[in-house]
Amino acid sequence: MLRRRTNGWAKGALAVGVVGLVPLAVGFAVAAFVQTGRRGEKGRGMAVGGLAASVVWIAAAAVVAAMLLSPGGGGSGDGGKGRATVLSRLQTGDCFAGFRKSATDVAVTALPCTRPHDGEVVAQAALPDDDEYPGDKGLAGEATKVCTDRLAFLVKSRYYEDLDVYLDKPDQAAWRAGDRHVTCVMRYGGAGSLAAPLAATLDPAKKTLQEFEAGDCFADWKGADAAARAVPCTEPHKVQVYAAFDLPWEGLATSGVSWAYPGKKIIDENAARGCRRRAAKAFAGHARPAGVRTDFVGPSVKAWYFGVQKVICLLRADKGTLKRSVLGK
d(CA 278, CA 12): 31
pLDDT digits (tens, 9 = 90+) for 76-90: 444 456 789 999 899
pLDDT the model gives residue 2: 46
In Å, how far are 6, 190, 204, 264, 312 from 222, measured between CA atoms? 26, 21, 19, 17, 12
Residue 118 has pLDDT above 80, yes or no: yes
Binned at pLDDT 50, 70 and 90, residue 328 comes out as: low
pLDDT digits (tens, 9 = 90+) for 294-318: 899 888 887 777 677 889 999 988 8
In Å, how far are 119, 206, 269, 287 from 234, measured between CA atoms? 42, 19, 33, 19
Q: DSSP states of 22-78 as a string?
A: HHHHHHHHHHHHHHHHHH--B-HHHHHHHHHHHHHHHHHHHHHHHHHHSGGG-SSSS
pLDDT the model gives residue 40: 67
Look over the chain and give the mean of its residue pLDDT values, rounded to a whole number. 79
pLDDT the model gives residue 104: 73
Residue 117 has pLDDT above 90, yes or no: yes
pLDDT the model gives residue 110: 95
Reading across the β-sheet that carries 239-246, which strands appear in turn? 230-231, 217-218, 239-246, 310-317, 292-297
pLDDT the model gives residue 290: 77
pLDDT the model gives residue 247: 85
Phi first, then psi, for residue 295 (nearest 5°) are -155, 170
Task: Decide if 328 contacts 169 (C-beta within 8 A).
Answer: no
pLDDT digits (tens, 9 = 90+) for 4-59: 667 676 677 677 566 666 676 677 767 766 666 666 677 677 767 767 767 776 77
pLDDT the model gives residue 237: 92
pLDDT digits (tens, 9 = 90+) for 215-251: 999 988 876 677 888 899 999 999 999 999 988 766 5
Considering only the C-alpha atoms of the chain, give the largest distance between any 2 of them, rounded to a whole number of Å: 70
pLDDT digits (tens, 9 = 90+) for 149-204: 778 788 889 898 899 988 888 888 888 888 888 899 999 999 999 999 999 999 88
